[in-house]
Structure formats: C-alpha cells, structure tokens
Structure 1
Amino acid sequence: MTRPIILDLIPGAQGTATLLAALQVPDHVRPVLVLFSGRATEVEVALAHARDLLDQYGLEDVAVHAGCPGPMVRDGGVGSDLPTGQDGLGALHLVQAVRACPADSVSICCSGPLTTLALALVQAPDIGAHLHGVIVDGGAFYVHGDATTVAERNIAADPEAAATVLAAGVPVTLVPLDCTARLKADAVWMEQLEPMGRVPASIAGRVHAELVAARNGGARGSGVDVSLRAVAPLLALLSPGIFSGHMAHVDVECRGAFTRGMTVARRMGPPGVQPNVLLLDRMSVDAGRGVLRDLLLSVQA
C-alpha cells in the first residue's frame, strides 16, 4: 500500500534532499502536499525548486505551498487571528489535502516549527480522523537544546503550536535532538555521495551541489558538517527499525522566561494523564545516513 504523506519542510539543501528521498520509494509513500516554512526569500527559492523537482517526476498534481510564516503567539503574548491573510493559507492548504485522503491514511512529516499543523488542527479538528500519524523533528530531553540550553529550535520557535499539536489527540511520534544531534553530512558521507555530482545538470547533481554549498558555506567555508535532522521524520516513517523509543506524556513549557520551549517527558503521569507521543530516544546514526545515502544515490540522472 502506498501511503499518502505531507512534507512540512524547511527551505535549503536538507529540505530538498528530504523531498528527493521521499520520491524514490513510490511503492511506499507518495507526497500529496509539500510545504516550506521559513524566511520569505528562502521559501520562494525552495518552492520553485520543489515544483521543478516534482514536475520532473511527473507529479505536477502535487501542491507546493508556503507554510505559516510566523508563530501562533506574537511577541508580547498577542495571539494571531485565525486565519489572517497569508498566516492562514498554509493551514488551509493542509486542511484541504488531509480531508482529500481516506480516514487513518495520511502521515505528516514535520521538520520545522509546528505552526501550520497547529493552525490546521484548530481550524478543522475533524482532520485528525484522517491522520495515520504525525512525525515531528523536535524537542530535547537529556541533551542541551540548540535554541537555548533547555529548548530545541523547532519547539522554541512556536511553543504554543507544539503544545496545541500534542493536545490534539492525534498520533504523534517525536524525534528529538537526543536522536538527531549526530545525524550530519560529514566528509565521509559526502564522499559517498560523490557519484550524484557527476552530471551537474541532473536532478541528483543539483541536489548534490546544494549539499556541498551548505557545507562549504558554514564556518567561513571550512566545510563543516551539516545537520541532516530535517530528514529524520521521513527516516522514522520509512525505516522505523533504526529507532527505539517508548510511549510518554510530553508537555511543552510556554511561559517560563528561561524555560520557554522546553519539552518535559513523563513515562507515568498523574492519574488521568495518558501518553500523548511515541518518544524516540535512540537511533542508529550510521544506519540513518546509510538509508538516506542509498535513496539519494538511487536518483536517476
């Protein structure tokens, strides 16, 4: 059975690589919507690249849109109207795509802030019945965060959105920084991808060039390892066996001046508190890099 998936991506080489990898397993997953959220200029470039990529795979019918550009709650605690102009469009497209899928069928892979999904669930709670699962790149539990000491960047970017998704009663798998901190495009992995770049004008060649540019653009061009954590939700969907985890109840701190965006997990909550996520606490990084490498190397020139 081919599962419909929605990819809620970040712009850049990692997002493009995630989309390209997803297109290599048409017998398993088929994108029905692709969203990009981030800086407007970066999103516009990502949208154009994604549409071109999908066209070349004969998937012109797959919609590609910008996600919601800002958090649900603005600085100062003022809530965003639902929807207002551009803020609501990404969520509207998500609602439409989910409703077009059968019950318990569609999986959503989120590699950025959860604003678009949260707004969609607020506007249309009925879409939860159509979701087979939501897989989120987010949270930090036993490692330092990358936004603050205690908060991971995707959750910290919109804690209210993360809390909304976790409270919505939909099946959520959380892939935290504990799993993904070492999932990087290091020199060895990039060398393994070298065959992708042999035909620069090809799809594979262009994605390879983006990954190379991302590494060379960091740390003043010193070739620093680039995080591949954006692809972790897709890896968890395609290769769950390389992860381990447990059911837990996760809360998101939305108020603390020093703890905003912090994720707190409890295996056993108070009476009446039920697990709300499958929390993945470990992954085989080498296996994850291997799966992604093989998918990208399978791209036809």
Structure 2
Amino acid sequence: MTRPIILDLTPGAQGMATLLAALQVPDHVRPVLVLFSGRATEVEVAQAHARDMLRQYGLDDVGVHAGCPGPLAGGTGHDLPAGQDGLGALHLLQAVRACPADSVSLCCSGPLTTLALALVQAPDIAAHLHGVIVNGGAFYVHGDATAVAEHNIAADPEAASVVLAAGVPVTLVPLDCTARLKADAVWMEQLEPMGRLPASVAGRVHAELAAARNGGARGSGVDVSLRAVAPLLALLSPGLFSGHLAHVDVECRGEFTRGMTVARRMGPPGVQPNALVLERLSVEAVRGVLRDLLLSACK
C-alpha cells in the first residue's frame, strides 16, 4: 500500500535530499504536500527547486508551500505571530483532511509550528494522522541550541507541547540518535554518479550537498549532518532504529531550560506514553539506504 506523506522540511541541501529520496519509492510513499519553513529568501528558492523536482516526477498536483515562519506563541498561549497569516497551517490541514482516517504520515525535519497551529485550528485532523515523525529533542547529550535544548524544540517549545498533547502517534528522533549521521568524504564519494548528471535533479542535489560540505570551516570539507533525512528514513526503514515508549514533556518556562525535553519511561499513575523516542540507529545501514535511494534517481 502506498502511504500518503507530508514533508515539513527546512530549506537547504538536506531538505532537497529528503524530497528526492521520498520520490524513489512510489510503491511505499507518495508526497501529498511539501512545506518549507525558514528564512523567506531560502524558502522561496527551496520551493522553486521542489516544484521543479516534483514536475519531473509527474507530481505537478503536489502542493509546495511555506510553513509558519515564526513560533506559535508570543509568550504564553497560542497566539498567531505578528504578520503570520497561517496559510501554511491551512494548506497542511486541507491536505490531511483529504486523506482517509489513520492514513497520512508527517515527516518533520524542523520546528513543529505549522503542525501545531493546524492542530489548534482543526483538532479533528488528528484522526487522519497515522503518525508524526519529528527531528527533535536532546535527552542525554548536549543540545545544539542551548546546553539542554535541541534546536527544533527550542525554536518553538509551545508548538512541541501542543503536538505531544494532541493524541497523535509521535516518534521523536533526538540528537542522541542522529549525532553521528553525517555526510562524510567516503559517503560523498559513493554519490559521485549523481555528479555526472549536473543538469538533472539528482545532479543538483549532489551539487548542493557538496557545496554544504565545502562551505564548512574554511571550506575544508567538513562533514555535514544528515539528520534532516532521519524522519523519512525512520518511516521507510524502521528496523534500522531502536527506541522506547516514554512520556515526553517540554520545558516552556525555564529561564535556562526552555526547550528542554524530559522523558519519563515510568511515570506516575495515569501518565501514559505520548511518544516513541528513538535512541539508536545503525549509521552505516541508514547512510546506505539513503545512498541507494539517491543513486536510484540517476537511473
């Protein structure tokens, strides 16, 4: 069965690699919506690239839109950020409602603002979601936003709290799991056939990945993270990941701990798990799956 999926991506090489990989398995997943959240100029470029990619795969009907550019709450509560028209959330809830109940999976590589806003506006869409797989959290490792918080959760802790409380099946892919998932020199060399087709979508993704590595410290070819692709790969190849059910809370108020994620395996009576927290992945196997998916775009 082909599962409808929604990709909520951040612009850049990793986001484009995620979309290209998703297009290689039409018997398993089919994108029904692609969102990009981030800086306006970067989002515009990513949208144009994504539309061109989808067009070449005969998927002109798939919407490509901008997600919410700012956090859900401007302090407390769930107020719309100034200047935010909520169109990204509207496109999301329309796409979800168009899918049968318990059918659509959402892979989110950035903050959860757009999904949270859609759930606040239309709680009924939760019944249509088969699962939400999120890059988010740092439990036993140093955060990448603060000492205790991972970037995507820290960018909008209130949004993460909304999603975790919505009753939808959530899978968290934290920094603990993806810290070693990187595009190193050996892996990039394996993708060299993509570079032989510079005019193709595969060639363009390869060029963007190479530029991301060469744009590192002093252009020295620094390994770049591939964690943006982890939610899609966890959906396609769940056997390469392992984790545990937990009740996850997000710290929204602490002066020094805002955005911190806390997982309780054994909570007090009445506290039920609200997420599957992935602890480990097989780095070489996961990179091998991604490599093979990207190379299949050359055929």
TM range (shorter): over 0.9
Q: Which residue of 92, 95, 107 corresponds with 2:93?
A: 95
Mapped contact 2:73–2:81 kept (Cα < 8 A):
no
* TM value normalised by structure 1: 0.97
Query: Shift in Å at residue 203 of structure 1?
Result: 1.3
Structure 1 position 7 matched with structure 2 position 7: yes
In the alignment, the residues of structure 1 paired with residue 41 and residue 81 of structure 2 have an alpha-carbon distance, to the nearest angstrom, of: 22
Residues 45-84 of structure 1, C-alpha deviations (whole Å, 9 max, x = no match): 000000000000000000000000000123xx16564487
Mapped contact 1:156–1:261 kept (Cα < 8 A):
yes
Query: Shift in Å at residue 85 of structure 1?
Result: 5.6
* Counterpart position of 1:41: 41
Query: Shift in Å at residue 222 of structure 1?
Result: 1.0
* Counterpart position of 2:228: 230
Secondary structure of residue in 2 paired with 1:168: coil
Alignment length, in residue pairs?
Answer: 299
In the alignment, the residues of structure 1 paired with residue 146 and residue 79 of structure 2 have an alpha-carbon distance, to the nearest angstrom, of: 28
Structure 1: 5+ residue stretches without partners: none
Q: Which residue of 155, 171, 174 corresponds with 2:172?
A: 174
Aligned CA-pair RMSD: 1.2
Residues 253-284 of structure 1, C-alpha deviations (whole Å, 9 max, x = no match): 00111100000000011111100001111110
In the alignment, the residues of structure 2 paired with residue 58 and residue 84 of structure 1 have an alpha-carbon distance, to the nearest angstrom, of: 37
In the alignment, the residues of structure 1 paired with residue 61 and residue 254 of structure 2 have an alpha-carbon distance, to the nearest angstrom, of: 44
In the alignment, the residues of structure 1 paired with residue 116 and residue 66 of structure 2 have an alpha-carbon distance, to the nearest angstrom, of: 15
In the alignment, the residues of structure 2 paired with residue 186 and residue 87 of structure 1 have an alpha-carbon distance, to the nearest angstrom, of: 40
In the alignment, the residues of structure 1 paired with residue 211 and residue 20 of structure 2 have an alpha-carbon distance, to the nearest angstrom, of: 17
Query: Shift in Å at residue 300 of structure 1?
Result: 3.2
Equivalent residues in 2 for 1:252-267, closer than 5 Å: 252-267=250-265
Mapped contact 1:83–1:89 kept (Cα < 8 A):
no
- Structure 2: which amino acid aligns with 1:295? L
Mapped contact 2:72–2:81 kept (Cα < 8 A):
no
Q: Which residue of 104, 110, 115 corresponds with 2:102?
A: 104
* Counterpart position of 1:276: 274
Residues 96-129 of structure 1, C-alpha deviations (whole Å, 9 max, x = no match): 0000000000000000000000000000000000
* Counterpart position of 2:239: 241
Q: Which residue of 149, 152, 157 corresponds with 2:150?
A: 152
- Structure 2: which amino acid aligns with 1:193? L
Mapped contact 2:176–2:279 kept (Cα < 8 A):
yes
In the alignment, the residues of structure 1 paired with residue 76 and residue 277 of structure 2 have an alpha-carbon distance, to the nearest angstrom, of: 31
Mapped contact 1:82–1:123 kept (Cα < 8 A):
no
Q: Which residue of 165, 177, 190 corresponds with 2:188?
A: 190
Mapped contact 2:193–2:298 kept (Cα < 8 A):
no
In the alignment, the residues of structure 1 paired with residue 85 and residue 131 of structure 2 have an alpha-carbon distance, to the nearest angstrom, of: 24
Structure 2: 5+ residue stretches without partners: none
- Structure 1: which amino acid aligns with 2:13? A
* Counterpart position of 2:161: 163
Structure 1 position 72 matched with structure 2 position 72: yes
* TM value normalised by structure 2: 0.98
Distance 1:272 1:78, change over 3 A: closer
Q: Give structure 1 regions of 4+ aligned residues with deviation exceeding 3 angstroms.
A: 78-87
Residues 198-225 of structure 1, C-alpha deviations (whole Å, 9 max, x = no match): 1111111111000000111111211100
Mapped contact 2:137–2:150 kept (Cα < 8 A):
yes
In the alignment, the residues of structure 2 paired with residue 170 and residue 134 of structure 1 have an alpha-carbon distance, to the nearest angstrom, of: 7
Structure 1 position 297 matched with structure 2 position 295: yes
Residues 233-270 of structure 1, C-alpha deviations (whole Å, 9 max, x = no match): 00000000000111100000001111000000000111
In the alignment, the residues of structure 2 paired with residue 216 and residue 10 of structure 1 have an alpha-carbon distance, to the nearest angstrom, of: 20
In the alignment, the residues of structure 2 paired with residue 153 and residue 83 of structure 1 have an alpha-carbon distance, to the nearest angstrom, of: 19
In the alignment, the residues of structure 2 paired with residue 87 and residue 269 of structure 1 have an alpha-carbon distance, to the nearest angstrom, of: 39
